[in-house]
Amino acid sequence: MPVLTTDRLRLDELTDADLDDVAAMVADPAVMRFYPAPLDRTGAQRLIDRNRARYTELGFGLWAVRTHAGEFVGDCGLTMQHVDGRDEVEVGYHLRTAAQGHGYAAEAARACVQHAHQRGIERVVAIVDHENLSSQRVALRAGLLLESVLDHGGRSTHLYATTVEGPGPDE
């Protein structure tokens, strides 16, 4: 049973059977442009293992995204991230280069945000490098709004959120 389905996509828990697809995606420097470096096969296996641990601990993680015809598109899902001094639920997405440009990331991300809301998680964020314009568009199309621009890991980063919080009373 998939975790989520959309008009064109299904999202399933990652398994070891996804290793070839995940390894090919994360070895691509274009996909990993906003990460420290592409990952080798061991890194891809770790990514799968980390998400399997998240399913157990949190009930969510990054899920494998496929078309209904079974073509591997990438991953998308929910993770916990520490940003701007607080723990947040982030919607994340990574698409094979060949699967980009079809709106799949926004379609999958919207479903993940709705899934979070159904689980009682009101606030979902996306932490996006200021140069990652396609990801910024995906965040907007998934229903998030730009909340702030901050330093995250030494990079100027846009924080998008479903519930945007204004400055506090002292700010």
Ligand X SMILES: CC(C)(COP(=O)(O)OP(=O)(O)OC[C@H]1O[C@@H](n2cnc3c(N)ncnc32)[C@H](O)[C@@H]1OP(=O)(O)O)[C@@H](O)C(=O)NCCC(=O)NCCS
* Contacting positions for ligand X (CB under 6 A): 31, 34, 93-95, 100-101, 103-106, 128, 132-135, 137-138, 141
Question: Which is closer to ligand X, CB of 8 or CB of 52?
Answer: 8
Question: Which is closer to ligand X, CB of 60 or CB of 74?
Answer: 74
Cα(89)–Cα(16) distance, integer angstroms: 25
Cα(148)–Cα(90) distance, integer angstroms: 15
Compute the least distance from the CB of residue 47 to ligand X, in Å. Answer: 13
Question: Hey, how many other C-beta atoms are within 10 angstroms of the C-beta on 98?
Answer: 13
Compute the least distance from the CB of residue 163 to ligand X, in Å. Answer: 19
Question: Which is closer to ligand X, CB of 3 or CB of 126?
Answer: 126
Compute the least distance from the CB of residue 105 to ligand X, in Å. Answer: 3
With residues binned 3-state (H G I as helix, E B as strand, rest as coil), the percentages for the chain, rounded to 5, are: 35, 35, 35
- Contact present, 124 and 159 (Cβ < 8 Å): no
